[in-house]
Amino acid sequence: GQNIDQPTEMTATEGAIVQINCTYQTSGFNGLFWYQQHAGEAPTFLSYNVLDGLEEKGRFSSFLSRSKGYSYLLLKELQMKDSASYLCAVMDSNYQLIWGAGTKLIIKP
């Protein structure tokens, strides 16, 4: 079966760095997405990785290792507004998105 695993909840301090991990087992691979979702809102796109390595975009970076079925989202200089759920999703061989349950990130002052 297809499976995406990520931690349920994480807590970090404002100004710090946090890494959210995601492991996956899917039927084929056409890329891995990270989305941010604030409560009651639709997810917003953060990153897309299809090749191994690190993609940096401002305070957010995303890493992918296809051989290990592993990705992480790195958030630097955390701000209170970063408190949200972070969803890892993998596009399988049929171009369907397989979603993780999301990681709720709590930022404390």
Partner 1 sequence: GAVVSQHPSWVICKSGTSVKIECRSLDFQATTMFWYRQFPKQSLMLMATSNEGSKATYEQGVEKDKFLINHASLTLSTLTVTSAHPEDSSFYICSARDTGDGDTGELFFGEGSRLTVL
Nearer Cβ to partner 1 (69/100): 100
CA distance 3 to 26: 6
Rounded Cα–Cα distance for residues 108 and 13 (Å): 5
Among 38, 101, 106, 108, binds partner 1 (CB under 8 A): 101
In the complex, what is the shortest distance from the CB of residue 17 to partner 1, in angstroms, rounded to a whole number? 25
Asked whether 84 and 75 are in contact (CB, 8 A), the reply is no
Q: Does 42 sit near partner 1 (CB under 8 A)? A: yes
Choices 14-22, 51-59, 67-75, 99-107; region in contact with partner 1 by CB under 8 A: 99-107
Max CA pair span of the chain: 43
Among 26, 86, 100, 107, which residue interacts with partner 1 (rule: CB under 8 A)?
100
Helix (H, G, I), strand (E, B) or coil at 11: strand
CB of 17 or CB of 50, closer to partner 1: 50
31-to-3, 17, 49, 64 alpha-carbon distances in Å: 15, 25, 6, 9
List residues near partner 1 by CB under 8 A.
30-31, 33, 40-45, 48, 50, 87, 91, 95-97, 99-102
